[in-house]
């Protein structure tokens, strides 16, 4: 055993004691970050190179600061995004929504599809689509100045000149694209205002504007996404919007009850919970 591996074992026990859900992974990620190696290379770190900054990172994680704020990175599909205070950390369940949109766009008989991501946050969905759909032109919309600054960094680094960022409100954004958009995607805030998340990493670190929806059911932003999608999509275009695992029927109805939508569907995430709704705009 090397010194670092011994320290990782001790740190794992401390993180477990603090209630961190994946203590060994997180201890290894922090060790890899501090020592500038991959997780698979930790055994190669020499005892003389052990860096006491490791324990500073562990102390922050023990206080339930998100791992992604300590390393400054969040992984989403094939991307490594810069994240930190002021931006929502992208979640694995949202990768499924992005994948659905990517599959539809690849099947589409449109050479350069136009895509809009409403409330882009770090830019995760917008940048995944730009990376995985060769000729897509993506418009990312973000009203919050702090999140906008993170989106800009990620888009400048990873957008390949095909993602345009707009400092606008998702409710009235992009009048210049009305009726011209092939796909609208969104992970809006949807937690009802009185439902406080249990995990300290979410409750204390994700920006409230990205978490809490308005209206008694928390779905006013989803309603705004429905209206904006109806305004922006061309006939035959698609929308995909994320929601909480108990909001599937309510979000289905938000689309089904408005004129102009067909093929309204509920979709599940990787843990088989209802997670997003899709619909197609215009009559056949």
Instruction: Return d(Cα 137, Cα 165) in angstroms, integer.
Output: 11
Nearest approach, Cβ of residue 197 and ligand GLN (Å):
5
Which residues sit at the interface with ligand GLN, rule CB under 6 A? 91, 187-191, 197, 202, 211, 242
Instruction: Return d(Cα 39, Cα 265) in angstroms, integer.
Output: 39
Nearest approach, Cβ of residue 210 and ligand GLN (Å):
6
Residue with Cβ nearer ligand GLN (88 or 261): 88
Nearest approach, Cβ of residue 201 and ligand GLN (Å):
9
Q: Is 119 helix (H, G, I), strand (E, B) or coil?
A: coil
According to the annotation, is 187 in a ligand binding site? yes
Residue with Cβ nearer ligand GLN (66 or 84): 66
Nearest approach, Cβ of residue 212 and ligand GLN (Å):
8
Residue with Cβ nearer ligand GLN (72 or 197): 197
According to the annotation, is 123 in a ligand binding site? yes
Helices (H), 144-184: 145-158
According to the annotation, is 192 in a ligand binding site? no
Q: Name the helix (H) or strand (E) containing 79.
A: strand 79-82
Instruction: Return d(Cα 106, Cα 101) in angstroms, integer.
Output: 9
According to the annotation, is 119 in a ligand binding site? yes
Residue with Cβ nearer ligand GLN (91 or 280): 91
Spell out where 132-260 has E strands: 137-141, 163-166, 181-186, 233-242
Residue with Cβ nearer ligand GLN (66 or 189): 189
54 near 11, Cβ under 8 Å?
yes
By residue count, the chain amounts to 284
Selection from 184, 162, 277, 159 nearest residue 234 by Cα: 184
Nearest approach, Cβ of residue 33 and ligand GLN (Å):
23
According to the annotation, is 266 in a ligand binding site? no
Residue 137 structure tokens: 């032109």
Residues β-bridged to residue 166: 141
According to the annotation, is 189 in a ligand binding site? yes
Selection from 221, 207, 234 nearest residue 150 by Cα: 207
According to the annotation, is 282 in a ligand binding site? no
**Residues that constitute the known binding site:** 119-123, 142, 187-190
**Residues that constitute the known binding site for substrate:** 187-190
**Residues that constitute the known binding site for S-adenosyl-L-methionine:** 119-123, 142, 187
């Amino acid at each position: 055993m090397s010194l670092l591996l011994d320290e990782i074992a001790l740190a794992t026990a401390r993180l477990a004691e603090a209630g961190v859900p994946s203590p060994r992974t997180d201890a290894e990620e922090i060790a890899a970050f501090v020592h500038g190696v991959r997780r698979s290379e930790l055994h190669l770190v020499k005892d003389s190179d052990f860096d006491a900054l490791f324990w500073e990172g562990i102390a922050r994680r023990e206080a339930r600061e998100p791992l992604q704020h300590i390393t400054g990175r969040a992984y989403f599909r094939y991307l490594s995004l810069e994240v930190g205070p002021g931006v929502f950390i992208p979640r694995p369940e949202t990768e499924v929504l992005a994948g659905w949109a990517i599959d539809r766009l690849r099947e589409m008989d449109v050479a350069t599809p136009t895509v809009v991501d409403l409330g882009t946050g770090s830019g995760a969905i917008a940048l995944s689509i730009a990376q995985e759909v060769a000729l897509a032109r993506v418009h990312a919309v973000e009203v919050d100045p702090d999140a906008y600054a993170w989106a800009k960094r990620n888009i400048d680094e990873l957008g390949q000149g095909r993602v345009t960022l707009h400092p606008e409100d998702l409710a009235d954004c992009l009048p210049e694209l009305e009726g011209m958009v092939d796909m609208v995607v969104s992970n809006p805030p949807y937690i009802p205002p009185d439902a406080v998340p249990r995990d300290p990493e979410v409750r204390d670190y994700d920006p409230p504007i990205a978490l809490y929806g308005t209206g008694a059911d928390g779905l006013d932003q989803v309603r705004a996404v429905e209206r904006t999608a109806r305004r922006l999509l061309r006939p035959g275009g698609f929308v995909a919007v994320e929601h909480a695992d108990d909001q599937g029927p309510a979000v289905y109805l938000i689309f089904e009850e408005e004129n102009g939508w067909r093929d309204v569907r509920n979709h599940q995430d990787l843990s088989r919970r209802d997670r997003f709704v899709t619909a197609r705009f215009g009559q056949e």
